[in-house]
């Protein structure tokens, strides 16, 4: 029970990468908060699982249809997700207040179809921000090329943003620049909290496939190293950005640092430690968001140590070695972002189809 509080002492926050109505209404989310979980993230894939597994939402859907028989599926989706996020935000509100706004945040992701639509993203984020109406809401915007200008503008308007689907140093540089640009234009930057969500395990999944295709002893020896090395370099770049004079000027106006958040941290390859992307990415001024299963595994046998501030030279060398093997990490990470948007869109489409089926039954 004390393990998460020990991680917090080291400077890292552990958030939950999961939401479901029953988790909130049963009191289990509050129990996790008491253990030290200090925030929550969601995405279309998570909401798809939440709505389609079990009957958690059946009564809520029936109630919406009873009060508004003509409600569209998108209206129902909106009502369900907003209600969940509001309830979760209320559970985390004491954490938000106690941490001065750094923790206790709950993330909501707009429809994935907006990932390449700057103006559509701006309109939808503003709508959700007003609709949820909680200071500890954080709205997700992907780090696509059209997403970056939207991110900077939303910061200027004082909205909390979780920038998602980042896989490369280039993605991080664009996101950090958008944050600095946005808070510089914000009248009161002290109200803004942001995280830069850097995805981890999927990098190893893609790179390992390329290494196995090469099949040489040198190539196979590099498996399972790319994701952590890639992440460590981004972490050290973040430290540089937020110790630079450009940010210090905004810090004097009350601005907070934008912490790096490690996403996609469940281990996909059974040959690796089931807490690999927790133990190897631990350090100050970061967040790690864990699916329920990974959180339980870490509480059971995870070790606590500042691993982000060691092995930087090895990380740099590891990426050089990948390049020598002909692995184009830049091309892989760009493809990962494209695939990530598509995966969320597929989950969203499946969720809407499942809601349509439930509505058909209940009507």
pLDDT single digits (tens) 110-164 = 999 999 999 999 999 999 999 999 999 999 999 999 999 999 999 999 999 999 9
Q: Enumerate the domain spans of the chain.
A: 3-202+230-310+336-362
DSSP 255: P
Q: Determine the pLDDT at residue 49.
A: 84
Do residues 288 and 281 make contact, with C-beta atoms less than 8 angstroms apart? Answer: yes
What CATH code is assigned to 3-202+230-310+336-362?
3.20.20.70
Rounded to whole angstroms, the Cα distance separating 288 from 282 reads 8
Annotated catalytic residues are: 140
Buried b (16+ CB within 10 A) or exposed e, 216-234: eeebeebbbbbbbbbbbbb
Q: Determine the pLDDT at residue 48.
A: 85
Q: Determine the pLDDT at residue 1.
A: 55
Smallest CA-to-CA distance from 84 within 115, 103, 61 is with 61
Sign of CA dihedral 244, 135, 11, 303: negative
Check residue 224 and give left, alpha or beta (phi > 0: left; psi -120 to 50: alpha): left
Rg (CA), the chain: 20
pLDDT single digits (tens) 81-124 = 999 999 999 999 999 999 999 999 999 999 999 999 999 999 99
Rounded to whole angstroms, the Cα distance separating 111 from 164 reads 13
Q: Which portions of the chain are predicted below pLDDT 50?
A: none
CB proximity list for 29: less than 8 A, separation 6 or greater: 16, 23, 40, 88, 91
* pTM exceeds 0.85 for this model: yes
Residue 203: enclosing H or E segment and its boundaries? helix 201-214
């Amino acid at each position: 029970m004390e393990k998460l509080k020990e991680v917090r002492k080291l400077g890292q926050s552990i958030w939950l990468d999961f939401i479901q109505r029953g988790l909130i209404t049963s009191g289990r989310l509050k129990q996790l908060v008491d253990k030290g979980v200090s925030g929550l993230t969601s995405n279309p894939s998570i909401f798809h699982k939440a709505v389609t597994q079990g009957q958690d939402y059946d009564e809520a859907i029936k109630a919406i249809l009873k009060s508004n028989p003509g409600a569209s599926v998108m209206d129902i989706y909106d009502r369900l997700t907003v209600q969940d996020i509001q309830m979760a935000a209320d559970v985390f509100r004491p954490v938000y207040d106690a941490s001065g706004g750094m923790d206790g945040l709950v993330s909501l992701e707009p429809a994935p179809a907006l990932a390449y639509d700057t103006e559509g993203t701006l309109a939808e984020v503003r709508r959700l921000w007003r609709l949820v109406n909680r200071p500890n809401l954080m709205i997700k915007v992907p780090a696509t090329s059209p997403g970056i200008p939207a991110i900077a503008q939303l910061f200027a308007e004082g909205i909390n943003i979780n920038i998602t689907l980042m896989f490369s140093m280039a993605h991080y540089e664009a996101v950090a620049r958008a944050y600095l640009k946005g808070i510089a234009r914000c009248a009161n930057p002290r109200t803004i909290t942001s995280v830069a969500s850097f995805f981890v395990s999927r990098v190893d999944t893609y790179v390992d496939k390329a290494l196995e295709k090469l099949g040489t002893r040198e190539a196979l020896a590099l498996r399972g190293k790319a994701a952590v090395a890639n992440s460590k370099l981004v972490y050290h770049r973040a430290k540089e950005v937020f110790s630079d004079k450009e940010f210090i000027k905004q810090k004097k106006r009350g601005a907070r640092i934008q912490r790096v958040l490690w996403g996609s941290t469940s281990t996909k390859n059974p040959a690796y430690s089931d807490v690999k992307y927790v133990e190897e990415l631990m350090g100050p001024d970061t967040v790690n968001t864990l699916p329920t299963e990974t959180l339980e595994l870490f509480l059971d046998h995870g070790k606590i140590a500042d691993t982000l501030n060691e092995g930087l030279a090895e990380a740099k060398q590891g990426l050089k070695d990948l390049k020598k093997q002909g692995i184009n990490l830049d091309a892989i990470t760009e493809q990962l972002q494209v695939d990530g948007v598509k995966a969320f869109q597929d989950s969203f489409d499946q969720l809407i189809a499942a809601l349509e089926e439930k509505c058909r039954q209940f009507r």
